[in-house]
Amino acid sequence: MTTNTTLPAAAAGTWKLGSFEVNRLGFGAMRLMSTSDGGIRDRETSIAVLRRAVELGVNHIDTAVFYFAGPRSANELINRALAPYGDLTITTKVGPGRDFTGAFYTARPDQLRAQVEENLRELGLEHLDVANYRIGQGLDRGEGSLADGFGALAELREQGLIRELGISNVAPHHLTEALEIAPVVCVQNQYGLTARREDDEIVRMCAERGIAFVPFFAVASGTGEDARVAEVARRHDATPAQVRLAWTLHQGPHVLAIPGTGDVEHLEQNVAAAALRLTEEDLKTLDGDA
């Protein structure tokens, strides 16, 4: 794919996930399979979204084997729409899994290799660009150690099945623990203007260590702050989602965004947020200081 810096997704600049340089505005594949009402999304529509994302300059896509609904699988859609991938960087998550009924389970360290190999098969790759070790159940973070699982992935990295490693759904002490085992190129947590602001500390930790912070659900709806978001959106003739994405990207050059959608128009709006520049007045309004 082209690396033309005039493409919309490049407007917020780039960051390196280890050996992979990506545009800070990327794409999350979780919403490709289902419609908002829980139905199965049209396959060709999902493929069109992926191809349009790349046309707009997206070169970082986040996925997982457990992203499936009915006959739709995010990995299969990515493979069908975009392989061979060129300079596209694909990040996936391991740790959580889903059985044939769709029920979630947490993989033991000795099951992680099978999850890595399943990603490789579905995506048609010889190695994973970035594998994030995700801990905890749902959005509840694990309080214990991640050493055994992350250590197992570090061994697979040494064997050449994974190029770079990240961690997901973690607390600050997990990042410290992981760095004692192997290099960490990204931390992927729920985070946004009105969500999980306790992770401001991890955002700072990542900045100090040159590690990407990659929030998911950054556009999740808020409560009392919605009026502030709407006010800033009016100032810029933008959507509230674009303002939330712009706020996310403003948190530091190491902060990436991976908004997901199954709709081409919504995708184009999300990518356009890479060019939205918030003023100091905007930021004060959003933070409740104005």
Q: Residue 261 is part of a domain; what is its CATH number?
A: 3.20.20.100
In a domain, 137, yes or no: yes
Residue 2 lies in a domain: no
Of 67, 85, 133, 191, the active-site residue reads 67
Q: In this structure, what are the phi and psi dihedrals at residue 104, rounded to the nearest 5 degrees?
A: -80, 150
DSSP-derived pairing of the beta strands 20-23 and 14-17: antiparallel
The confidence score (pLDDT) of residue 102 equals: 79
How many domains are there within the chain? 1
Q: Look at residue 5 and tell me if it is in a domain.
A: no
Indicate if 67 belongs to the active site. Answer: yes
Structural domain including 120 reads 13-222+251-278
Count of other CB atoms within 10 angstroms of residue 25: 32
95/81 Cα distance (integer angstroms): 26
Could you say which residues of the chain have pLDDT below 70?
1-5, 138-139, 142, 220-225, 289-290
List helix spans (H) across the chain.
43-55, 74-82, 112-123, 147-158, 172-179, 200-209, 226-236, 240-250, 264-272, 280-286
CB 248 within 8 A of CB 286: no
pLDDT at position 225:
61
Identify whether 246 is part of a domain. no
β-strands 186-188, 104-106: how paired?
unpaired
The Cα 32–Cα 186 span in angstroms is 23
Crossing angle for the helix pair 74-82 and 112-123, to the nearest 10 degrees: 40
- In a domain? residue 33: yes
pTM over 0.85: yes
- Confidence at residue 139, expressed as pLDDT on a 0 to 100 scale: 67
